[in-house]
């Protein structure tokens, strides 16, 4: 299946499964004007709401489905329900964290094995949130709501659990990737306007913290006392990518904590999280979200994002939600934004056009444009697709 999207993309949104904005990334790019770079500062790229090629014919996005993983009805063991992580090894075998189990398929989509069950014992899963493949060929599962980190072999055998008492896992901890064979990047939480703590840990030395830096002021949020938002992220070209939950903005940071680039898109409806206190507790509801940047051939990048267009007061809406007062459902705008190698927004695929593309949440990317995405419709499944930007426009040299 090869889909070529039309360039007339001004339509209303319906659905798109996106990575939660509780995981923090930052994003955007610029329009016709060049990016500015003052001496001693990071390059800042400002983008308008729509790129210059929104309604032109210079570019298009092509997507071809290669193979699909997960059964619609049978065999039952191959049916998926709640995909939380996808990894791919060098042979193309696929590993899926699905609810309370691990399941593996061959590159062609044939079932290999399944492992695990619900529980809190060794090799069991409760609220497993995410999964990473380590450079030495293990699966690292963030289990029990982030309170336990479990190692599994690529055959599904439980190996060991990391101690939650390690300094690298102090407070909220989310391993997002590896800078090299032994250096893991672990992000903390945005808490009380203090920014995000990023820790670099040496896995060869029992996850000992080798370096720590705090991302601020770019990631500083005016959170009420006692509130925090977990920070996710991504590794891109040897740098660390984080995104904000309150504005459409992407930050790229070196492993030393220096700000390499700030990328923004002018989205005025992008809605910050809503904070609410009520009898017996407090809560946060996220409304807007951006995905990790995905690299395509030719240096192009894509970002999936979404935000409501009818939530002027997120605190009031969150409070009504937690109080079960039946507030209006958010009317969301969904978009897949295409950037060039310098993070300049070219065009966006929006709403019904995005539905027609049958995109979803990108969970793994072994190579540029080689994507493994999760969709819940018409049934929960993972599919491997090849995505590329085609067009007559020129692409400038790739920058971080």
Nearest partner of 126 among 107, 109, 142, 108, judged by Cα: 142
Q: What is the pLDDT of residues 141-185, one digit of tens each?
A: 998 877 889 999 999 999 999 988 888 888 778 899 999 999 999
Whole-number pLDDT of residue 169: 85
Of 322-326, 332-336, 386-390, give the lowest mean pLDDT range: 322-326
- H/E stretch holding 261 reads strand 259-265
Model confidence band, residue 37 (pLDDT cutoffs 50, 70, 90): low
Name the band, by pLDDT with cuts 50, 70 and 90, for residue 59.
very high
Q: What is the pLDDT of residues 237-256, one digit of tens each?
A: 999 999 888 899 999 999 99
pLDDT band at 97, cuts 50/70/90? Answer: very high
pLDDT of residue 214: 84
Q: Examine the pLDDT at 65 and tell me if it is beyond 60.
A: yes
At 35 the pLDDT is 55
* Phi, psi at 161, each rounded to 5°: -115, 140
If we measure between CA atoms, which residue out of 309, 308, 318, 264 comes closest to residue 288?
Answer: 308
pLDDT value, residue 393? 61
CB burial of residue 235 (10 Å; 0-12, 13-18, 19+): middle
Q: Look at residue 188 in the predicted model and tell me its pLDDT.
A: 82
Strands 234-236 and 228-230: unpaired
Sheet arrangement for strand 148-152: 130-133, 139-143, 148-152, 158-162
Q: What is the pLDDT of residue 191?
A: 64
Look at strands 289-290 and 301-308 and give their pairing. antiparallel
C-alpha distances out from residue 325 to 316, 319, 321, Å: 11, 9, 6
| Average pLDDT of the segment spanning 303-330 | 95
CB-based contact 246:286 (threshold 8 Å): no
Name the pLDDT band for 398 (thresholds 50, 70, 90). Answer: very low
pLDDT at 381 over 70: yes
What mean pLDDT comes out for the span 326-352? Answer: 96
Q: d(Cα 299, Cα 395) in Å, to the nearest integer?
A: 8
Is 229's pLDDT higher than 70?
yes
The pLDDT tens digits of the residues spanning 173-223 come to 889 999 999 999 999 876 665 678 899 999 999 999 999 988 765 555 666
Rounded CA-CA distance 395/288 in Å is 30
pLDDT at 30 over 50: no
Mean pLDDT of the chain: 85
The pLDDT, as a whole number, for residue 246 is: 87
Instruction: Tell the residue number behind the tokens 């360039």, with chain if given.
Output: 7
- In this predicted structure, which of 82-91, 206-215, 308-317 has the lowest mean pLDDT? 206-215
Per-residue pLDDT, 195: 72
pLDDT at 192: 60
Paired strand residues for 372: 364, 384
Position 283 pLDDT exceeds 60: yes
Please state the pTM of the whole predicted model.
0.85
Gap between the Cα atoms of 365 and 295, Å rounded = 8
Q: Which of 37-46, 60-69, 199-208 has the lowest mean pLDDT?
A: 37-46
Q: Residue 34: what pLDDT? A: 47
Q: Are 43 and 399 in contact (CB under 8 A)?
A: yes
| CATH code, residues 2-391 | 2.120.10.30
Q: Determine the pLDDT at residue 387.
A: 98
pLDDT exceeds cutoff 50 at 12: no
Asked whether the beta carbons of 87 and 105 are under 8 A apart, the reply is no
- Tell me the mean pLDDT in the region 67-76: 95
């Amino acid at each position: 299946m090869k889909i070529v999207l039309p360039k007339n993309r001004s339509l209303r949104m319906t659905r798109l499964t996106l990575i939660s904005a509780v995981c923090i990334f930052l994003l955007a790019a610029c329009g016709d004007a060049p990016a500015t770079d003052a001496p001693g500062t990071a390059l800042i790229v400002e983008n308008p709401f729509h790129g210059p090629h929104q309604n032109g014919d210079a570019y298009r996005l092509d997507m071809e489905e290669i193979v699909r993983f997960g059964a619609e009805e049978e065999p039952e063991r191959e049916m998926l329900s709640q995909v939380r992580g996808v990894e791919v090894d060098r042979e193309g075998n696929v590993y899926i964290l699905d609810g309370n189990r691990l399941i593996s398929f061959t590159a062609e989509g044939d079932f290999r094995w399944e492992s695990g069950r619900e529980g809190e014992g060794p090799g069991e899963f409760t609220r497993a949130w995410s999964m990473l493949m380590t450079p030495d060929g293990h699966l690292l599962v963030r289990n029990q709501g982030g309170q336990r980190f479990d190692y599994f072999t690529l055959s599904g055998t439980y190996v060991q659990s990391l101690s939650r008492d390690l300094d690298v896992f102090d407070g909220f901890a989310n391993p997002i990737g590896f800078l090299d064979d032994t250096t893991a990047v672990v992000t903390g939480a945005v808490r009380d306007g203090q920014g995000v703590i990023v820790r670099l840990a040496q896995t060869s030395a029992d996850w000992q913290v080798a370096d720590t830096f705090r991302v601020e002021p770019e990631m500083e949020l005016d959170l009420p006392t006692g509130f925090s938002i977990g920070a996710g992220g991504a590794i891109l070209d040897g740098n660390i990518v984080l995104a904000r939950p309150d504005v459409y903005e992407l930050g790229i940071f070196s492993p030393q904590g220096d700000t390499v680039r700030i990328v923004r898109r002018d989205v005025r409806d992008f809605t910050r999280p809503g904070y609410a206190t009520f009898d017996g507790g407090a809560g946060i509801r996220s409304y807007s979200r951006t995905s990790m940047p995905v690299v395509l051939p030719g240096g192009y990048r894509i970002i999936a994002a979404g935000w409501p267009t009818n939530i002027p007061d997120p605190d009031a809406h969150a409070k009504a939600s937690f109080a079960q007062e039946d507030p209006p459902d958010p009317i969301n705008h969904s978009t897949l934004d295409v950037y060039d190698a310098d993070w300049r927004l070219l065009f966006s695929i929006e709403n019904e056009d995005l539905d027609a593309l049958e995109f979803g949440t990108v969970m793994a990317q072994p190579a540029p444009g080689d994507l493994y995405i999760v969709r819940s419709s018409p049934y929960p499944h993972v599919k491997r697709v090849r995505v590329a930007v085609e067009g007559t426009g020129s692409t400038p040299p790739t920058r971080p």
